[in-house]
Chains A and B, each alone.
Chain A
Amino acid sequence: MMQMLAAGGLPVLTDGVRVADEDNPRGYFEWERIRTLPRDPQLIGEAEGRVVKTISSLLRFLPPNRSYNVIFMRRPLGEVVASQAAMIARRKTSGPALDREAMVKALQTHLQEVAAWLATQPNLRVLWIEHAELLHDPALYAAEIIRFLGLPLNVEAMAAQMDRSLHRQMGRSQKP
């Protein structure tokens, strides 16, 4: 999605700290400092007019005195957990002591809570996109994103950026 938005012509806020790797060969487009949002919410001011990639749990810490357009990417949680488990293993860190099923349930609950919360936030507009749907019809969703943002982006360039190879984790997770 970040590549798609960048290709469309949106300025992306990234620091290049996290470089491309086996998990994400096209790079991460991350801005590491967003992780400190809970203790320094005002730093989001530095992203004014730009795209920032973040995680659902940080949305609550966005200062309410600004307006935000949120493109919320959803994937089947089984895939998400499988992908995250692989990443955690490669990073040599350790996640919570939950089995896969419990982790899926925890994430499901988390997403329901975030969705319910987002619905009550007047300063956050949200466009929900299913990852698989996007892969299936990038042009349609590129147009949808342009409508949502109300910006003159390059729809062809956006659609061309979609790379099915990024979806390999889905295939992996479906193997027994």
Chain B
Amino acid sequence: MSRHIARKALLIGWDAADWKIIHPLLDAGQMPFLESVINQGVMGNLSTLRPILSPLLWNSIATGKRADKHGILDFFEPDPHIGGIRPVSSTSRKVKAIWNILTQRQFKSHVVGWFAGHPAEPINGVSVSPLFPIPLSSSPENWPLAEGSIHPVGLRNTFEELRIHPAELTGEELLPFIPRAAEIDQSATNTLESLAKTLAECCSIHNAATWILENREWDFLAVFYNAIDHFCHRFMPYYPPAMEGVSELDAKLYKDVIPAAYRFQDMLLGRLLALAGPNATVMIVSDHGFHSDDLRPRSVPHEPAGNTVWHRPIGIVCMKGPGIRQDEQIYGTTLLDIAPTLLTIFGLPIGEDMDGRLMTQAFAEPVQPDLIPSWEDVPGECGMHPADLRVDPAAALAVIEQFAALGYVEAPGEDRTKAAASVMREQEFNLAGVYLDSFRPLQALPLLEKLHRANPDQVRFALELARCYLALQRMDDARNILVARAETEPKPWADWLLGVTYSEQGRHEAAMEHLLRAEKANPRLPDLHLRLGTTYRQMSRLDDARRAYERALELDGNSPAAYLGLATVSLSQRRNREAAEQALTAVGLDHYLPLGHLVLGFALTRLRQLDRARIAFETAISIAPGMLNAHRWLAAIHSQPGGDPVKAAEHREIARELRRQRQARKNAK
């Protein structure tokens, strides 16, 4: 086993924290503690996964695995005992989280407030579930702690006292967020109540974390704060400049809430840093960002998780501690990389079944991680719930329905049954999204076809199925779904996807007609401009393509796809150095962009930087193994003098096989 890099690590989750809001505050000296972490360590973007739903994402952070492996697929799950639904629970997570692995290796491991962390897991330390801070009653005097919130149970009374009820907060605590709170007509809005609730919950979580650091031996603590996300969902329209439609008075009243939320979170960070001490590794991460500029959505879809249109796909990561580089920027990190990196810091091997990798750039010295096939196969007490609690909610619900149909138990009631059915549908939809996001459209297909068949009126199912058909190159199937939608849907989505379909079929004029119609309906969609760019490129209208990609970048300056588009245009125009830089920026923003690595490889090959090109191609196939051109170029590079003829032959063989499969698919069509 490798030596550990640090003896203690503190993982701090800030739901929805975004550099776009943090940078101005850092510049103004208003987040001094975060700045100290950045100065003593590394910082960078953290690419998220899709669907951008916090329960899925925070469990990917904790496990290093995508949601199809860890099993947390929605905010809710069917209640396996009485029917209906309940918040998604720790008993549904199918794999070990970092705190379970550390428990297994006898580290003192604690976790506070993590998404899907209820009931608290029996780890080798204190576990505090996310239900711990929730005010289940309107009165602080009669506020029972939810059963199962605390492990070990002996600490229940202690932790009960650590909670803060929203009703206990006074004007003094709320005024820094809304200095003109006295002007609010509270009979007309619940903004103060909402503010107090978020603030109180945040303080309760913080109290639990600091109590553990002060009173318990610790090697690892993971603490999750959702305050930034909650503040953003409630108050982001007022963040200056306020969105269109916000009244002048409201804009003035609430303009400070978001910056104050970040400043407050920074104060809490200061206390955590002081308690953790200078020798602990400290990692601060967010699962996604939050639109705070022109990309703020003007409407929210009326569908489950419709609110996620606010989520920006780039989160934050910063880390300081022993062995970590100082004052450096890192690139290409995804939230899947957090758990593998923490394991390496503790000198433990990374599971080969983890989807993430080590954040190698973050370390001052090269680190070679150890690997094991899977932590799931390692026996021993890991602090997960016993098997009888780890139920499959969907199967359990089927049993309840069966018993109810037989008259053995009471039927859950129409509302509960509907709610459970709706949650199971969402879980399937989200699972399909996970498959599509990880380039596995074949696995997404049966789920989406089933959802579309059962709910033909649901536009999102239809569009996602069309996207899946597109990924599978089943253009006619995609078009069949979309044509009807383009006529009936006022939104640009169907036109947009139809444009994509025609574009992929080489029918560029037809594609342009639909894409321009979509642009007319909504000119503020960066991804639409990306598709316009691609179509112009296919039509060899390279200057138009460049303008479209630049327009996408104007709308979203951190779009990896826009940089990739520009790189492809530059490559076509033989501006190779420019292409390499743009592709490098693209993969820096999103490491899991196989085309980005491929284009980078092409540009580097032309620049005769063959070693770097080889790495780029190898990275591309590590993400998308079926990338024919990457194999062809690797074969060519390894065939050069001084290359590796065995590897050249291997890649040539793989390329030949891929070509054969491609031909077979064409013939089958």
- Take A96-B398, A103-B398, A110-B399 as given contacts and tell me if A116 and B406 are in contact as well, using a CB distance cutoff of 8 Å: no
The complex places the Cα of A110 from the Cα of B390 at a distance, in Å, of 11
User: Which residues of A lie under 8 Å from residue B405 when comparing CB positions?
Assistant: 84, 88, 91, 93-96
Nearest chain A CB to B379 CB, angstrom units: 17
The complex places the Cα of A117 from the Cα of B406 at a distance, in Å, of 24
Interface size of B in residues (CB-CB distance below 8 Å): 23
Nearest chain B CB to A123 CB, angstrom units: 16
Question: Is B409 touching A35 in the complex (CB atoms < 8 A)?
Answer: yes
User: Which residues of A lie under 8 Å from residue B399 when comparing CB positions?
Assistant: 57, 106-107, 110
Closest-by-CB residue of A relative to B394 is: A106
The complex places the Cα of A60 from the Cα of B403 at a distance, in Å, of 15
Question: Is B388 touching A117 in the complex (CB atoms < 8 A)?
Answer: yes
Question: Is A96 touching B401 in the complex (CB atoms < 8 A)?
Answer: yes
The complex places the Cα of A98 from the Cα of B397 at a distance, in Å, of 11
Closest-by-CB residue of B relative to A83 is: B406
Restricting to A19-56, which residues have a CB under 8 Å from any CB of B? 35-36, 38-39, 54-55
Q: Among A87, A98, A119, which residue has its beta carbon within 8 angstroms of that of B406?
A: A87
Q: Is A165 an interface residue (CB 8 A)?
A: no
Q: Is B530 an interface residue (CB 8 A)?
A: no
- Chain B binding surface SS class: loop
- Take A103-B398, A103-B402, A106-B398 as given contacts and tell me if A58 and B409 are in contact as well, using a CB distance cutoff of 8 Å: yes
Interface size of A in residues (CB-CB distance below 8 Å): 35
Question: Is A109 touching B410 in the complex (CB atoms < 8 A)?
Answer: no
Interface 0/1 of B388-431, CB less than 8 Å to A: 11011001111111110111111000000000000000000000
Closest-by-CB residue of B relative to A61 is: B81
User: Which residues of B lie under 8 Å from residue A115 when comparing CB positions?
Assistant: 388
Q: Is A113 an interface residue (CB 8 A)?
A: yes
User: Which residues of B lie under 8 Å from residue A91 when comparing CB positions?
Assistant: 405-407
Question: Is A96 touching B386 in the complex (CB atoms < 8 A)?
Answer: no
Nearest chain B CB to A89 CB, angstrom units: 10
User: Which residues of A lie under 8 Å from residue B387 when comparing CB positions?
Assistant: 112-113, 116
Q: Is B5 an interface residue (CB 8 A)?
A: no
Nearest chain B CB to A16 CB, angstrom units: 15
Question: Is B81 touching A38 in the complex (CB atoms < 8 A)?
Answer: yes
Question: Is B407 touching A84 in the complex (CB atoms < 8 A)?
Answer: no
The complex places the Cα of A55 from the Cα of B409 at a distance, in Å, of 8
Question: Is A35 touching B408 in the complex (CB atoms < 8 A)?
Answer: yes
Q: Which residues of A contact B (CB under 8 A)?
A: 18, 35-36, 38-39, 54-55, 57-58, 60-61, 84, 87-88, 91, 93-96, 98, 102-103, 105-107, 109-110, 112-117, 119-120
- Ranked 9 nearest A-B pairs via Cβ: A116-B388, A117-B388, A96-B398, A106-B395, A55-B408, A96-B401, A95-B405, A93-B405, A110-B399
Additional pairs, 18, CB under 8 Å, beyond known A35-B407, A106-B398, A106-B399 = A35-B409, A35-B410, A36-B410, A38-B82, A55-B403, A55-B408, A57-B81, A57-B399, A57-B408, A88-B405, A91-B405, A91-B407, A94-B405, A102-B398, A106-B396, A109-B395, A110-B399, A113-B391
> Please, could you name 7 A-B residue pairs with CB atoms under 8 Å apart, sorted by A?
A35-B408, A57-B403, A84-B406, A95-B401, A107-B402, A117-B389, A120-B386
